[in-house]
A = this chain, B = another copy of it.
Amino acid sequence: MAVRITPEECAQALMESLPAVMRFLRRGMRRHSNPALSVPQYRTLTFLHRHPGASLTQVAVDLDVTRATASSIVNRLVGHGLVSRADDPHERRRTVLTLTPRGLRLIQQAQEGTRARMQAALTGLTADELHTIAVAIDLLSRQVKDGPPGGES
C-alpha cells in the first residue's frame, strides 16, 4: 500500500470517475439493444426476469426509487411492448408485471452486448487488477446499502 487514502479523497475519486463509468454502461446499452434501453429500464427488465409477476412496489424497492418513478418507468416499458401489466385477482390493489416475449428477447440481447462490451474494456487487466475491482465494487455497494445510520432521504 503506497499511499494513505482518506475518505475525502475516496469520495472525490468516486465523484470524478464514476459518472464516466456509468456513461460507458449507458452508451453500451443504447448501442446493443433495439429499441435502446436506459439503465433503469434494463434493471427493471432483469428484475422482472428474475421475479416474474412482481408488483410495482417490488420494482420500486429494487430500483430504490419512489413508486411514482417506478410507475412511469414501467409505463414506458409497457408502452414499448416489453412488459405486460395485469391485475392480481386476489389482491386487487396489486399489479402483476411480467416480461413479454419481446421483452425477454431484448434483455437477453442487451445483456450479451453489455457483457461483451465490458469484457472488451477490461481486456488487458491482470487477474490481480480484476480482483481489486471486484473487491472494491463489493465493498462499496455494501457500504452504501447498509449505509450510514440515519441514512437515506
| A residues with CB within 8 A of B | 1-25, 27, 31, 39-40, 42-43, 46, 63-64, 114-115, 117-125, 127-141, 143-145, 147-149, 152-153
Pairwise interchain contact A20-B125, C-beta atoms closer than 8 A: no
Known: A10-B122, A21-B144, A27-B152. 19 other contacts (CB 8 A): A6-B130, A7-B119, A7-B122, A7-B130, A8-B119, A11-B115, A11-B117, A14-B137, A16-B43, A17-B137, A18-B25, A19-B40, A20-B141, A20-B144, A21-B140, A120-B149, A132-B139, A133-B136, A133-B139
Number of identical protomers = 2
Residues of B within 8 A of A4 (CB): 127, 131
Pairwise interchain contact A7-B147, C-beta atoms closer than 8 A: no
